[in-house]
Amino acid sequence: MRLFQQRHEVVVWAPAKVNLFLEVLGKRPDGYHAIATLMLAIRRFDTLGITEDNSGAIQLHCNRSDLSTGADNLVVRAARLLQERTGCSRGCRLRLIKRIPMAAGLAGGSSDAAATLLGLNRLWQLGLATGDLEKLGAELGSDVPFFFHLPAAWCTGRGEIVTPVAFPRALDLVLVCPSFGCPTADVYRQVKVPEQPLDGTGMLAAAAAGDVEAIGRQLHNRLQPAALTIAPKIAEFVDRVEALQPAGTLMSGSGSTVFAVCLDRDEALRIAKELRKSARGEFAVHVVRSCSAQHPP
Q: For residue 229, give every residue at least 6 positions away whose Cβ sits within 8 Å of its Cβ, in sequence order, or none.
A: 190
Between strands 33-53 and 58-62, the pairing is: unpaired
User: Catalytic annotation on 266?
Assistant: no
Bridge partners of 162?
155
Read off φ and ψ for residue 51, nearest 5 degrees: -125, 160
Nearest-angstrom CA–CA distance, 93 and 9: 10
- Catalytic-labelled residue, pool 46, 112, 143, 172: 143
Between the two ends of the chain, the Cα-to-Cα distance in Å is 5
Catalytic-role residue among 17, 98, 112, 172: 17
Is 98 one of the annotated active-site residues of the chain?
no
Instruction: Please give the positions annotated as active site.
Output: 17, 143
